[in-house]
Amino acid sequence: MIAEAGAFALILALALSIAQVGLSLAGRVRRSAPLAGAGEGAALAAFGAVALAFAALMHAFVVSDFSVANVAMNSHTEKPLIYRVAGTWGSHEGSMLLWCLALTGFGAAAAGLGGGLPRGLRALTVATQGLLGTVFLAYTVFASNPLARVLTPPVEGRSLNPLLQDPALAVHPPFLYAGYVGMSVVFSFAVAALIEGRVDAAWSRWVRPWTLAAWSCLTVGITLGAFWAYYELGWGGWWFWDPVENASFMPWLIATALLHSAVVTEKRGALAGWTVFLALASFTFSMLGAFLVRSGVLTSVHAFAVDPTRGVLLLIILGVTAGLGFTLFAWRAPSFAKGGLFAPISRESALVLNNILLAAATMTVLLGTLYPLIREAMTGEAISVGPPYFGLTFTPLMVALLILVPAGPLLAWKRGDARGVVQRLWVALLAFAAVALLTALLVAPRKVLGAAGVGLGGWLVVGALTEIVERTRAFRVPAAESWRRLTGLPRGAWGMTLAHLGLGVFVMGAVFETAWKVEAAEALQVGGALDIGAYHVRLDGVRPVTGPNYDADRAEISVTKDGRAVCRVHPERRQFTVDGQTTSEVGLCYRGASHIYVVLGERRPGVGAAWLVRAYWNPWASLIFLGPAIMALGGVVSLSDRRLRLAVGRRRERAA
């Protein structure tokens, strides 16, 4: 019964989305507030209906109702509750429903919070959001219905891929989807502005909080995914340039570019066309990601196995929505005002350079992901584009960008003073030199590029702090005055500093871990040991344990240094009872920001029971995940800035 109610609610949501489009458009054309208001009401109701459908599906998963095909295919009664809940979005159909939930949720938020917007722009935004909702809900209802029943329900379900049964991965998709789909509001805003024919400072101010919210969620989502890969796949790697990782990374890069270009449009009225272009591109890349993951065109660990018809449908949705958006752009954008002038050395120029480099980086990722497909389709020859390609293209572009980052915020608008900026950045420059030199001298084996990379992280961290020091005029005015300035700093400034600081922390961790990680592997008998750096890793024993839906061999491993106990880890090798898949549960020992990472491998046949044990010393690995967390925090802090709250816009409009 509940599943039917959910299926009905899903169809109702589709009807409400169609009504949302019609009513909002009519409201705009007739300039009728009641009609536009009805459109907003429809947006809220559509969200409510999808939420009901989502709750119905979640209920089916929790109670293991195997008469629902999707539950039978992706769940199992023995699975722990958290993974039964997470199973709701663990499959293609369920994740499409999550996508629709986020899409209508953001539509409802735009309708509910858009009070400060001019009526016409607001109605068109709600209409466009409704159109996106209609398209994706229609796809979900007709081609990927997660609530469809089976005639003869099986007694037991087929379970979720054991690799995905993990706490980080349970919450990874909701964040990722909030990020992907959050860009839809930005897309709708852009379409509305193009139809209205006006992009101004106010428009950029409305776009920024939505971009920030989506960007922060996407940052968290990608980081959770990387962390999952780090400790679940058991190779000690965290980023593989896997096509699906790339699919989530492209919208992130574009959103980052958009955050920066929107500042120029807001403060200086320049780059309006480019900002709108990025706003359209960000959601286009989100949709491209959705298509790539679900179409079966990619070979990837993450790809959903889905039949090609559904992929083609998604490609059509992508082509039509993005095509309409960009056609509208080509038609209307040339009429946009060019905005303020600026000198070659100015904050505008720095932000334009940021955008050029981020666009080129996105191009790298796009080519690296799609070029093998294109070339295979055209010539029939298969090629691989792996990590070395990105090392040769993406990395130099990023290095150029990272060098620029601390300078940008210190440059004045319109015309900056290059020498002044260099003077103010001398501490950061010193930090770069000191960190790089110390790394080169102290860390063996000596790696010049690695040392320079860690130094670059120092440059970013100190450069970000320099911005705060400059704003508070610390060390130049009395401390009380500096303190007053510090507490008076807008949250937006703190947000930017945190984001740049987090980037520096990430760079330090990523470079250090990549350059100086150490691995060791031995076939160990109980009592045997291997050495990794100064650490002595001893296999004390292996015993069988029984989990809720798996049997495992659990190793008892003690780590010592100079004879003193450091920690004990318990890596496991799990054999899932339902589908026979084996996964490894990594044993992690934290030493400051560094990790000792121990994996229990297979049992070696032969005389005596020997186990393959792999150990990695991953120096500074925590920073890799801490950095993006700080960046996302920066996004949230910036989002709480008074100036970005839409209510302020509303008050201002009333006063005017």
- Kindly list the residues in this chain that would bind other proteins in the complex (CB under 8 A): 235, 237, 240, 242-243, 299-301, 303, 338, 341-344, 349, 352-353, 355-357, 359-361, 363-364, 367-368, 371, 375, 379, 381-389, 392-394, 397, 414-415, 442-445, 516, 518-523, 530-534, 604, 612, 614, 616-617
**554, β-bridge pairs:** 543, 572
User: Judged by CB, which is closer to other proteins: 361, or 435?
Assistant: 361
The angle at the Cα of 219, spanning 472 to 571, to the nearest 5 degrees, equals 115
Report the nearest approach of other proteins to the CB of residue 520 (Å). 4
Q: Shortest distance, CB of residue 495 to other proteins, whole angstroms?
A: 26
**Nearest-angstrom CA–CA distance, 30 and 12:** 26
For residue 475, how many other CB atoms are within 10 A of its CB?
8
The two tokens of residue 82 are 């958290």
CA 140/CA 6 separation, integer angstroms: 13
Which of residues 271 and 496 has its CB atom nearest to other proteins in the complex? 271
CB of 356 or CB of 567, closer to other proteins = 356
Q: Which is nearer to other proteins, 108 or 271 (CB)?
A: 271
Could you please report the per-residue DSSP string of 7-28?
HHHHHHHHHHHHHHHHHHHHHH
Cβ proximity to other proteins, 343 vs 433, nearer residue: 343
Runs of H (alpha helix) within 114-146: 119-143
Closest separation between CB of residue 597 and other proteins, Å? Answer: 11
Least distance between other proteins and beta carbon 304 (Å): 13
Q: How far is the CB of 372 from other proteins (least distance, A)?
A: 8
CB of 139 to other proteins, least distance (A): 26
Closest contact distance (angstroms) between CB of 302 and other proteins is 9
Dist. CA 73–CA 332, nearest whole Å: 48
Residue type, 643: R
Burial of 654 (0-12, 13-18, 19+ CB in 10 A): exposed
Distance of CA 213 to the CA centre of its chain: 11
Closer residue to other proteins, CB minimum distance, 446 or 476: 446
Secondary structure element (H or E) that encloses residue 66, with its range? none
Closest approach of other proteins to the CB of residue 385, in Å: 5
Query: Which CB, 531 or 540, lies closer to other proteins?
Result: 531
Amino acid at 393: T
Tell me the CA distances in angstroms from 331 to 29, 195, 324, 328, 506, one per residue in order.
Answer: 20, 10, 11, 5, 41
Return all residues near 469 (Cβ < 8 A) that are at least 6 apart: 475
For 184-278, strand residue ranges (E) read none
